[in-house]
Amino acid sequence: MGWLDGEVAIVTGGGSGIGRAVVNRYVAEGAKVVVTDLDETLLKELEAEHGEAVTGLVADARLIEDNQRVVRHAVEVFGKLDIFVANAGMGDRFTEIVDIPDDKVADAYQQVFDVNVKGVILGAKAAVKELVRSSGAFIVTLSNSSFYPDGGGVMYISSKHAALGIVRQLGHEWAPWVRVNAVAPGGTKTNIRIPEAFGLDENGKPIRAHSHPSNADSEVERVTPLRTHSDPEDHAAAFVLVASRTQGKAMTGTVIESDGGLGVRGLRRVRGGDDLHRRFFGDEG
């Protein structure tokens, strides 16, 4: 018996990274999952891995008709929709506003906000009727950048703050029928798509930025109280909790901050317990 036995979920941008980890965990918890991504190869991999528990659709979160098509597909194939995870996201390579060319500012804004904000709203609009019918859950993948500066550039930070507002407003608008919650991961070893406005790779395609260059582990560990640079799987349980009818039944408008403890960083020290193991046991642990 899993926490999501018999549930039907949609996970957008689920072909890789945190989305893929959520798909894998939802299936392990007993759910059937419709996964969307722009990369058909990744979707085929998930279908092969999970068999009849997963069906993949190439779909663009920025288009209302694609969101509607995905919801219809879930109902046609699995009979209902209980959970919608608005996970598709776009980064900005930590680009500061002074470094964005004047003729690229509007494009950069539109490309980031179209996925990180409009994509969430369109997914909500497409899914709300079926989620009311099932008394289901709407979940948004936020970020530590929904609360703190410098986890990205101005476009990413502002878009993730806006997505937090969506969670709070929809939590109000849809109560008591649909629970609306979010998970806000911190630094995670995953790739994120970058808008064309911030450049193309050598093949003329949008860049997928690696958020884990060679020095990333030490850098992220240095600034997080739990001294951790997360894998996507480290956040998956939080997505299960807010999706569960039994375990998350009293939660709406809630954000689980799965970020290594950024909210308890000190002014003098990142973490206060670096020497605790040595003090008790005589070694560094």
Sketch the domain layout of the chain as residue ranges: 8-281
Tokens 């039944």 identify what position?
A: 249
Task: Tell me the C-alpha distance between 190 and 280, whole Å.
Answer: 36
Which residues, at least 6 apart from 72, have a Cβ–Cβ distance to it below 8 Å? Answer: none
Instruction: Verify whether residue 26 is a known catalytic residue.
Output: no
Cβ-contact 182, 141 below 8 angstroms: yes
Q: What is the pLDDT of residue 72?
A: 98
Annotated active-site residue in 26, 109, 148, 156: 156
Q: pLDDT-based confidence at 243, cuts 50/70/90? A: very high
Q: What is the pLDDT of residue 271?
A: 94
Tokens coding 143 = 């970020």
**What number of H helices and E strands is found in the chain?**
9, 9
pTM summary value: 0.93
pLDDT of 10-66, one tens digit each? Answer: 999 999 999 999 999 999 999 999 999 999 999 999 999 999 999 999 999 999 999
Tokens coding 52 = 């009849």
Side-chain-facing half-sphere of 10: CA atoms under 13 Å: 38
Task: State what percent of residues in the chain have pLDDT above 90.
Answer: 81
Q: What is the CA radius of gyration of the chain?
A: 19
Task: Tell me the C-alpha distance between 21 and 234, whole Å.
Answer: 9
Q: 117, 121, 112, 140: which is closest to 11 by C-alpha?
A: 140
The whole-chain average pLDDT of the chain stands at 93
Q: pLDDT-based confidence at 211, cuts 50/70/90? A: very low
Task: Tell me the C-alpha distance between 259 and 157, whole Å.
Answer: 15
Cβ-contact 261, 185 below 8 angstroms: no
Residue type, 130: E
CATH (one of 3.40.50.720, 2.102.10.10, 3.50.50.60, 3.30.450.20) for 8-281: 3.40.50.720
Q: pLDDT-based confidence at 196, cuts 50/70/90? A: confident
Count of other CB atoms within 10 angstroms of residue 107: 15
Which residues, at least 6 apart from 182, have a Cβ–Cβ distance to it below 8 Å? Answer: 139, 140, 141, 142, 146, 163, 164, 167, 242, 254, 255, 256
Q: What is the pLDDT of residue 212?
A: 45
